[in-house]
């Protein structure tokens, strides 16, 4: 059963030079995540370049991940579809292929009304037994799931958590005040993770964890055991890297970081292209400085 807490990497999809799935490198990365002690694997998010994957590729990725993790941690599938019908179908497939939970975005490519958004989420929730985390990211996806909308949606027992990406950190306190433990909160913005967890978030759906799993897990564990000062020290070191997550080119940024730590390649699928020129240099320099100053992690 999914606990909806801890560090859950939103993993990248690995491609070969020939633009096919690179399952070998994918396994290397997932294994590194498991070794570091993550609490779940999130597949098919923005970082996974989900919008460019075929149905077949999605199936393969789920099955492969399920095989690698061997029930050590739950596999969570992100659903980001353009029709209610396709979303329900994706939920069925996720369950069938072995996923243990769903992360669901509002409808894609249409700014639905509150009523339509609620109807959409409810329809999917009612079609599956899997527990669900709502992905609330109005900055990138325009639709905000307000607390009033959650109030209504929580009638669905399997809606269990929210991936909080509003950038409005006060939401952590608002949600805790209103829903207590009924709705778990996972911070979805790398640069707000420490603050969010100190304010009560239960976990962190993380990005730079793809390249730096041990450091990410260390911050989480230190915060949860009250060793704030140590957590803050790692977090400050980590921040220039974490800022790479807050960019439309986060996939390219993080893949470049994965190359530097030996657990990924830079290949992306067009229209995405690898970083170019001055921007590539800027990002590489941040990564190199980060690796040079990499902190020795405390025993936790």
**Catalytic positions:** 135, 163
Nearer to a second copy, 35 or 266 (CB): 266
Tokens of 259: 């190359």
33 contacts a second copy (rule: CB under 8 A): no
180 contacts a second copy (rule: CB under 8 A): no
- Specify the pairing of strand 6-9 against strand 184-187: unpaired
> Per residue in 242-266, is it b (16+ CB within 10 Å) or e — as a string?
bebbeeebbbbbbbbbbbbbebbbe
From 67-75, 126-134, 144-152, 190-198, span contacting a second copy (CB under 8 A):
190-198
> 159 CB contacts (<8 Å, ≥6 apart)?
121, 125, 131, 132, 134, 153, 183
282 contacts a second copy (rule: CB under 8 A): no
Task: Please identify which residue in 72, 96, 182, 236 interacts with a second copy, judged by CB under 8 A.
Answer: 236
From 61-69, 212-220, 228-236, 282-290, span contacting a second copy (CB under 8 A):
228-236
Task: Please identify which residue in 63, 89, 144, 195 interacts with a second copy, judged by CB under 8 A.
Answer: 195
Q: Is 73 annotated to bind ligand?
A: no
From 20-28, 90-98, 189-197, 208-216, span contacting a second copy (CB under 8 A):
189-197
Asked if 101 contacts 117 with a C-beta cutoff of 8 angstroms, the reply is no
> 52 CB contacts (<8 Å, ≥6 apart)?
269, 272
Asked if 207 contacts 38 with a C-beta cutoff of 8 angstroms, the reply is no
SS3 234: helix
Which residues contact a second copy (rule: CB under 8 A)? Answer: 51-52, 80, 82-85, 107-113, 115-117, 119-120, 123, 169-170, 173-174, 176-177, 191-192, 194-196, 198-200, 226, 228, 232, 235-236, 239-240, 243, 248-249, 269-273, 276, 279
Residues annotated within the binding site for pyruvate are 205
């Amino acid at each position: 059963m999914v606990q909806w807490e801890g560090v859950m990497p939103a993993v990248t999809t690995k491609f070969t030079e020939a633009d096919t799935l690179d399952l070998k490198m994918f396994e290397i990365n997932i294994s590194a995540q498991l070794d570091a002690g993550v609490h779940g694997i999130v597949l098919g998010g923005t970082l996974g370049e989900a919008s460019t994957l075929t149905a077949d590729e999605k199936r393969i990725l789920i099955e492969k991940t399920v095989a690698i993790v061997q029930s050590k941690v739950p596999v969570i599938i992100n659903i980001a579809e353009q029709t209610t019908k396709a979303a329900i179908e994706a939920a069925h497939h996720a369950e069938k292929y072995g996923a243990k939970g769903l992360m669901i975005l509002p409808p894609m490519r249409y700014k639905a009304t509150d009523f339509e958004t609620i109807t959409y989420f409810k329809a999917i929730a009612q079609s599956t037994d899997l527990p669900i985390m709502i992905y609330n990211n109005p900055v990138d996806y325009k639709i905000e799931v307000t607390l009033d909308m959650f109030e209504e949606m929580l009638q669905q027992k399997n809606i269990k958590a929210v991936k909080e990406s509003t950038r409005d950190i006060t939401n952590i306190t608002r949600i805790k005040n209103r829903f207590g433990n009924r709705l778990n909160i996972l911070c979805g913005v790398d640069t707000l993770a420490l603050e969010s967890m100190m304010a009560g978030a239960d976990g962190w759906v993380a990005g730079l964890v793809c390249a730096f799993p041990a450091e990410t897990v260390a911050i989480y564990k230190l915060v949860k055991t009250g060793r704030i000062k140590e957590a803050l020290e790692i977090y400050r070191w980590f921040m220039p890297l974490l800022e790479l997550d807050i960019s439309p080119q986060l996939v390219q940024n993080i893949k470049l970081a994965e190359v530097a730590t030996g657990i990924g390649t830079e290949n992306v699928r067009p229209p995405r292209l690898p970083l170019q020129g001055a921007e590539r240099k800027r990002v590489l320099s941040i990564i190199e400085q980060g690796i040079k100053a990499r902190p020795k992690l405390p025993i936790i």
